[in-house]
Amino acid sequence: MNTITSTQFNFPGQKSLYKGKVREVYNINDELLVMIATDRLSAFDVVMPKGIPFKGQILNQIATKFMQLTEDIVPNWLIATPDPNVAVGHLCDPFKVEMVIRGYLSGHAAREYAAGKRMLCGVALPEGMKENDKFPTPIITPTTKADLGVHDEDISREDILANGIVSEEDYLVLEKYTRDLFQRGTEIAASRGLILVDTKYEFGKTKDGKIVLIDEIHTPDSSRYFYAEGYQERQDNDEAQKQLSKEFVRQWLIANNFQGKEGQQIPEMTDGYIATVSERYIELYENIIGEKFEKADITNINERIEKNVLAFLNQ
């Protein structure tokens, strides 16, 4: 199936192109950003060799939908979505941290806890917890925003302020926005029969100094969801939680001896496996958004994107 794993457009007024793990961002006249969600799949900060059909469309449409559902509580960078894989927004100067917030002891936090750590990013973790237990209140565990190919690192609020990565005044805003977004995301998830377990947010500053939400929000790449039905029963019986996130890819990689460490080989992703990953992403979309997923025409994705973006920029 056709996928989009790389772009090389030359839009009017284009100043630069930044390629992230999954998204490619075009700077237009130092005013707009054209963000293209590719079908690349990243896990353990490593980009997999093959794309996943419809993944970029799914991520872009979830993110833009949640931007619209939260713009009354937190301003965001988004202006328009001229193509299923594209978001256009205001040029922002991104903060050099990702704001991770966790409602449950899962994923990275659970792995650290199992290794005996009781402090994560300067936050004390309660004793006697087991994997996927709920925290008394959600905790914020930021990470540094690393360059491509470099692992993000846990960092405490104290170190962020001490190293001048973010000013205290701005950081207080980031924390408030993070908690407000997580609360709204939790409420929306509950209305869909889901639990928003943890997520990350990225913020930037517009030219006039306003702090806004950028990049993605509440997607399966940036968030972990559990099914609410049966959650407590599974916890009581020490069973794995039924979840909606990219964790199933991570677990497959771990089972095939890959965690992004030096010397490890990425296991082969067969066409059959790639098809199942695509199906899981569609399932994620339909559960998270509560609507049927409408597949875009993927006959020639690059051509479609270029035509739609040019039509928008020429308006």
Query: Which tokens sit at 169?
Result: 């005044």
Six-digit token pair at 76? 């965001």
Q: What residues have CB less than 8 Å from 258, skipping those under 6 apart?
A: 44, 264, 265, 266, 267
Q: Would you state the pLDDT for residue 134?
A: 98
Give Cα 136 to chain centroid, integer Å. 24
**Closest to 182 measured CA to CA, from 151, 211, 225, 143:** 225
- Is the separation of the CB atoms in 199 and 213 below 8 Å? no
Reading the block at residue 207, the tokens are 């030219």
Reference 200, options 226, 172, 228, 219; nearest CA is 219
DSSP state of 41: -
Please check whether the two domains, 14-93+247-313 and 98-206+215-244, share a CATH topology. Answer: no
For helices 55-70 and 168-191, the axis angle rounded to 10 degrees is: 110
- Check residue 148 and give its pLDDT: 53
Q: According to the model, what pLDDT value does residue 243 have?
A: 83
Instruction: Identify the CA nearest to 218 among candidates 288, 133, 282, 135.
Output: 288
Can you give the pLDDT at residue 315?
Answer: 87
Q: What is the mean pLDDT of each run of 10 residues along the chain (315 residues)?
A: 92 94 94 96 88 96 96 97 98 95 96 96 96 98 75 90 97 98 97 96 95 93 92 97 83 91 91 92 92 96 97 94
Domain ranges of the chain: 14-93+247-313, 98-206+215-244
- pLDDT of 146 reads 67
Instruction: Look up the CATH architecture of domain 98-206+215-244.
Output: 2-Layer Sandwich (3.30)
pTM of the full predicted structure? Answer: 0.89
| Residue 214 falls in which region: left (phi positive, over 0), alpha (psi -120 to 50) or beta | beta
- The pLDDT assigned to 44 comes to 85
**Which pLDDT score, from 0 to 100, does residue 233 have?**
98
What pLDDT does residue 1 have?
66
Buried b (16+ CB within 10 A) or exposed e, 242-269: ebbbbbebbebbeeeebeeeeeeebeeb
Q: What is the pLDDT of residue 79?
A: 97
Alpha helices in 115-267 (DSSP H): 157-162, 168-191, 231-236, 247-255
Q: Kindly state which CATH superfamily the domain 14-93+247-313 is placed in.
A: Phosphorylase Kinase; domain 1 (3.30.200.20)
